């Protein structure tokens, strides 16, 4: 089936619009969370993650009831045994990733965290090697070295380096990659909303069990100071990001998504310096540029 140049142009414009919305929502979630933690003095990442997952669990069920967006559920058959052996462990890892990544924002700047996230492909490759999902070769080793050196320079150049936050972010990346590996090993093919439908209740329950032993009742008292509307808006933006992800699937090529991701990171780093007075050193810019080069090479080499 052939398409006219006009149809192709419309498809490109549509994909670009979706990608811009994705970038805007993704950046908004990160900056909104940092605003809650620092500016509004609401340092309760476990409560916030629990709240997000509870809203996601309810939201996906409302979408199933009243919209066609959850049509992917018909293609996924989850038995009780599969739920216990696959969904629950993956949900637990996902919960750990969310908690750790949010905890990192308590002590690290948005700009530094975005630089550290460039290390994600290294975690992907190392875990893939460990699970024998991919064989190492010279090009992949070179990419690992390039990204590692770049991230190391960015970390060395950080003026307000905080070991606990750094450890949380590194572990969050590792947990996130383990989630992806487990999904592959269990052969679970789901779109983002279907995944959220199954995993969000597990995450919400696990987080709710952790909450009394970590943050206790303090977040509930702080709600009245911050305002329930602010928290509801925050959770709504986070949930909208997952809805937008469904429309993004298949809308753009891998390279376009990679370049868009690089643009989002640069946008976030720039925004954090303006909104939260974050400091960036020349050494960090140099190191991050090297890491971004490795990231683009990783994606163009067929990395996921």
User: Encoding tokens for residue 171?
Assistant: 């572990």
The predicted-structure confidence for 41-94, as pLDDT tens digits, reads as follows: 999 999 999 999 999 999 999 999 998 888 888 888 888 888 888 889 888 988
CB 291 within 8 A of CB 171: no
Percent of the chain with pLDDT over 70: 83
- Planar angle of CA 92, 119, 143, nearest 5 degrees: 130
pLDDT of residue 257: 55
Give 185's pLDDT tier (boundaries 50, 70, 90).
low
* Residue 4 φ then ψ, to 5°: -75, 160
Q: Which residue has the higher pLDDT, 249 or 118?
A: 118
Q: Which residue has the higher pLDDT, 220 or 270?
A: 220
Place of tokens 């949930």: 239
CA Rg value for the chain: 20
pLDDT of residue 114: 82
CB 256 within 8 A of CB 109: no
Q: What is the DSSP letter of 252?
A: S
Lowest mean pLDDT among 3-7, 120-124, 167-171, 212-216: 3-7
pLDDT of residue 10: 46
pLDDT of residue 7: 45
The predicted-structure confidence for 134-176, as pLDDT tens digits, reads as follows: 788 888 888 888 888 988 888 888 877 888 988 998 888 778 7
Angle, helices 5-34 vs 254-275, to 10°: value is 40
184 pLDDT more than 90? no
213 pLDDT more than 60? yes
**134: which residues sit within 8 A by CB, 6+ positions away?**
125, 128, 140
User: Encoding tokens for residue 272?
Assistant: 């954090």
302 pLDDT more than 70? no
Domain boundaries, the chain: 15-300
- Region 231-253: mean pLDDT is 76
CA–CA gap between residue 294 and residue 159 (Å, rounded): 24
pLDDT of residue 57: 95
111 pLDDT more than 90? no
The overall average pLDDT reported for the chain is: 81
Q: Helix, strand or coil for residue 159?
A: coil
Specify which of 146-160, 167-181, 229-243, 272-286 reaches the highest per-range mean pLDDT.
229-243
pLDDT of residue 285: 86
């Amino acid at each position: 089936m052939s398409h006219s140049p006009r149809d192709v142009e419309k498809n490109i414009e549509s994909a670009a619009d979706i990608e811009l919305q994705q970038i805007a929502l993704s950046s908004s979630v990160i900056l909104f969370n940092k605003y809650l933690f620092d500016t509004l003095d609401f340092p309760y990442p476990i409560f916030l993650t629990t709240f997000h997952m509870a809203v996601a669990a309810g939201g996906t069920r409302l979408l199933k009831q009243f919209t066609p967006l959850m049509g992917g559920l018909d293609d996924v058959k989850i038995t009780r045994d599969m739920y216990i052996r696959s969904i629950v462990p993956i949900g637990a890892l996902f919960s750990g990733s969310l908690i750790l990544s949010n905890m990192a924002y308590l002590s690290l700047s948005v700009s530094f965290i975005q630089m550290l996230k460039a290390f994600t492909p290294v975690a992907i490759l190392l875990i893939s090697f460990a699970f024998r999902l991919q064989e190492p070769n010279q090009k992949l080793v070179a990419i690992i070295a390039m990204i590692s050196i770049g991230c190391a320079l960015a970390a060395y150049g950080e003026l307000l380096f905080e070991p606990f936050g750094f450890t949380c972010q590194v572990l969050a990346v590792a947990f996130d990659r383990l989630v992806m590996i487990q999904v592959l090993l269990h052969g679970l093919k789901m779109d983002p909303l279907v995944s959220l439908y199954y995993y969000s209740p597990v995450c919400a329950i696990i987080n709710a069990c952790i909450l009394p032993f970590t943050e206790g009742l303090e977040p509930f008292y702080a709600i009245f100071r911050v305002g329930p509307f602010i928290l509801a808006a925050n959770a709504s933006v986070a949930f909208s990001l997952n809805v937008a992800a469904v429309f993004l699937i298949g809308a753009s090529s891998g390279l376009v998504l990679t370049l868009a991701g690089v643009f989002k990171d640069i946008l976030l780093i720039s925004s954090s310096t303006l909104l939260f007075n974050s400091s960036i050193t020349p050494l960090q810019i140099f190191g991050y540029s090297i890491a971004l080069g490795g990231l683009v090479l990783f994606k163009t080499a067929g990395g996921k």
